[in-house]
Copies of this chain bind each other. A is one copy, B any other.
């Protein structure tokens, strides 16, 4: 039970909820492609979303600014402008044919919370900033050498030395540095300048995001408080190389079948996943793409090549490390057994990001004070909050129940669930900056 509970008077978020509703409708209207919502990083859909939120923030009297990557900041000035600020936000880009709320819900909520605090006459002890982030959905839009989450990592100075050159925007067919310059921002400043955000000038980061799994539905909860963000082991351009031969005439022991070898690898990983579940170990394994070569494949040819991706996630760094070793050793063993060669390509490892204990405790307390039912949930997807954690900035997330799956046009958030998340975010920011 909170010490402040009996004395608290909750800030009214009803006008901020109306603002949110209008913004979600406007965001949808300017980015639908008939099938779903598409806001490409540094593309027209993302730019329109930034313009909408900037206009809404400025209309409400917030200060607007933009960093060298194009991330947008809408700030409610604090009493001490030099004190490390409290931030909230999320990205507004989407996967191709995605939905309207991943991650616009968090960008809109951050703006709405700042507006609610301002309207209530709350003058925070430090700045409170809503951040509208670029380019979080990197795996759908980029190829080449990249650590993902290009917008938040650019703001936090976490880009790898050559990443502005090696991360390649598939649709625009350009390295991300050129894409940023073409969009009117400043890749050189990102490369040469100090990070825009750091533990020295940011006190902490809170992010509202739709849940991308069905856990809150199962538990009949409107919102959840995230325990940690899973890390990843990712293979974007793996393939198995065997030899094309006649499908009927070559006996088993002389085949070099790239598909059945890839099947054996995937089956081994699926088994390892079952073993992990049996011991309660956190793990998910996905082979999102698999392709034989359309130029030479045939019903009646033993396939000589098979390309595939792997996306392995866990909250445990040890599990990730073990799974990476398993991919490598199984590829070696199966390759030798089946007379094929696996070319795994780069194996990118993203570290898990546990959420800040103090912030989690405060959000649990706020939820209890506001009589909003909630619970701890694990987070299987990557989020900008992970980058704040990796930059040494305390971060926490609130998930909103989502009945339509994720990364597809059917993702869905009830406004009544969103309203609860907005209440918790606004009250948490008030307490943090009282």
Contact = CB atoms under 8 A, between A and B. Distances in A.
Number of copies of this protein chain within its complex: 2
A379 interface: yes
Contacts of A249: 211-213, 379-381, 406
A276 to B, nearest CB: 9
Given A97-B296, A140-B300, A264-B267, A290 B259 contact: yes
Contacts of A243: 405
A407 B245 CA distance: 6
B287 A290 contact: no
A140 B286 contact: no
A339 B289 CA distance: 19
A219 to B, nearest CB: 13
A291 B295 CA distance: 13
A302 interface: yes
Residue of A137, A264, A266, A379 contacting most chain B CB atoms (<10 Å) = A266
A248 interface: yes
Given A248-B311, A287-B303, A381-B249, A254 B214 contact: yes
A289 B292 contact: yes
B381 A246 contact: yes
Nearest to A251: B213
Contacts of A232: 248
A288 B284 contact: no
A31 to B, nearest CB: 17
A299 B259 contact: no
Interface in A294-345: 294, 296-303, 306, 309, 311, 313
Given A97-B296, A259-B266, A408 B288 contact: no
Given A249-B211, A292-B290, A407 B263 contact: no
Given A212-B246, A313-B247, A407-B300, A270 B263 contact: yes
A266 B257 CA distance: 12
Nearest to A377: B249
Interface in A180-198: none
Interface string A197-216: 00000000000000111110
Residue of A95, A270, A284 contacting most chain B CB atoms (<10 Å) = A284
A123 B262 CA distance: 58
A96 B293 CA distance: 13
A230 to B, nearest CB: 6
Interface in A254-285: 254, 257, 259-260, 263-264, 266-267, 270, 273-274, 277, 284-285
A213 B232 CA distance: 43
A288 B299 contact: yes
A8 interface: no
Contacts of A247: 284, 286, 288, 311, 313, 380
A209 to B, nearest CB: 10
Interface of A: 95-97, 137, 139-140, 211-215, 230, 232, 234, 236, 243-252, 254, 257, 259-260, 263-264, 266-267, 270, 273-274, 277, 284-292, 294, 296-303, 306, 309, 311, 313, 379-382, 405-408
Given A211-B249, A212-B246, A298-B407, 12 more contacts: A214-B254, A244-B405, A245-B405, A246-B405, A250-B405, A252-B284, A259-B287, A263-B267, A288-B297, A289-B297, A300-B381, A300-B382
17 contacts: A95-B298, A214-B254, A230-B248, A243-B405, A246-B406, A247-B286, A247-B313, A248-B286, A248-B382, A259-B266, A263-B266, A286-B300, A289-B292, A290-B291, A299-B311, A300-B407, A301-B407
